[in-house]
Amino acid sequence: MESFSRKSFLKRAIGVGAVLTVSEFLEACSTVTDRNFGPKGNDPYANSESMKYDRPIFKALNVGITAPNPHNVQPWKFEILDDHSANLYVDENRLLLDTDPPTRQVHIGQGTFLETLAIGSTRLGYKAEIEMFPKGKYETKDIGKKPVAKIRLLPDAGISADPLAEFIPLRATVRGEYHGSVLNETEFSTLLKDAKPNFSRAVMMGISDFPKVKKAVYSAMEVETNTYQTYEESRIWFRYNDEEINRERDGLSLRGSGVSGLKYFFVRNFFLSPGKESWHSEGNRSAGLGMFADQVESSKGFVYLVTKQNRFLDWVLAGRDYARLQLAATKNGYVVHPLSQILQEYHQMDSLRKEFETIAGLKPGEKVQMLVRIGKSDYKFFSPRRELEKMILPAGKKTI
């Protein structure tokens, strides 16, 4: 494997004889921050006001869509019921069928949306009442057809804003290298006190497990990268430059992977070009794995969420807890990066997933729903969001 080290990178960069203009340099060093496609950048509360969302349900939905979600596919669609209520559905056109065959991760993304909305609604003066699976029994065949949840906003003049609400505009998934000291038990306890997970058990892995975990998660990334269909799925959702990021407003990107500045410029212009041939080339795969290895090696802790069962309901509720965990990390000056590859359920990953479950010491029936690395970083990239209007089912668009 070719490591994507600073030394090898600069050697290759100098070899192409590239010279940056001032405008190219500024573009390379910039970040895209208008997460909600709104005039106030990554602040959904301010964006709602600027975009004149007068109806409470639209303000709440606009906060909810800033939630973390797999591959940033934003797998949500909404049926507006009235000024204070809506149904949440999975957008069946935004599934990850190769890396997420049972749609577990996509349903975790439904939970992150619901919790982000519920937390943010308290700042808007509402309590969010959430009814799970309001149309009854929910199965795979119902994805996109039956709602995952019904949301109802209850006005409450005396409600206090959830302490995590102010960190929603600041939350970002950071995939780059981390600095700082290893997370200790006291710091983790503080994190859990702020997160208050309600539906799953949060576990911090001991430092003695770090070598095994690092090896396992790297091996899982190797499997995903070297399995054509799973890596091709990432290519489909990859946005190659700022123009694509701003046009599509979803998916993955170099910036979202922690690549910025001169490194961003050279990778974008000389090492990675659009198309299957470049994406699946040995050089690109090796560079990506080298970058991932450096990220994992810099981790200051590993935390996972485990549920007693592994149903659709558990997936959504674990997502609610994950949203709280990431916001609590933001509050305490940490960032997190999901290491989802090793938890995935396609057959090439089976042995590694079972190996990790042994490391985690799971009891029969339990399921690790989320695994993240944690640490500190000065890097911030706010992955953009599609316009809310594009997520509203046709009957409700005229009322936005």
pLDDT tens-place string over residues 348-384: 999 999 999 999 999 999 999 999 999 999 998 999 9
Does residue 4 register a pLDDT over 50? no
Fold of the domain built from segment(s) 170-375? NADH Oxidase (3.40.109)
On the question of a common fold for 44-169 and 170-375, the answer reads yes
Tell me, what's the pLDDT at 267? 74
Does residue 20 register a pLDDT over 50? no
Question: H/E/C letters for each residue in the chain?
Answer: CCCCCHHHHHHHHHHCCCCCCHHHHHHHHCCCCCCCCCCCCCCHHHHHHHCCCCCHHHHHHHHHCCCCCHHHCCCEEEEEEECCEEEEEECHHHCCCCCCCCCHHHHHHHHHHHHHHHHHHHHCCEEEEEEECCCCCCCHHHCCCCCCEEEEEEECCCCCCCCCHHHHHHCCCCCCCCECCCCCHHHHHHHHHHHCCCCCEEEECCHHHHHHHHHHHHHHHHHHHHCHHHHHHHHHCEECCHHHHHHHCCCEECHHHCCCHHHHHHHHHHHCCCCHHHHCCHHHHHHHHHHHHHHHHCCCCEEEEEECCCCHHHHHHHHHHHHHHHHHHHHCCCEEEECCHHHCCCHHHHHHHHHHHHHHCCCCCCEEEEEEEEEECCCCCCCCCCCHHHHECHHHHCCC
Q: Which CATH class is domain 44-169?
A: alpha beta
pTM comes to: 0.92
Domain ranges of the chain: 44-169, 170-375
pLDDT tens-place string over residues 221-280: 999 999 999 999 999 999 998 899 999 999 999 999 888 777 777 777 766 788 999 999
pLDDT tier for residue 150 given thresholds of 50, 70 and 90? very high
pLDDT tens-place string over residues 70-122: 999 999 999 999 999 999 999 999 999 999 999 999 999 999 999 999 999 99
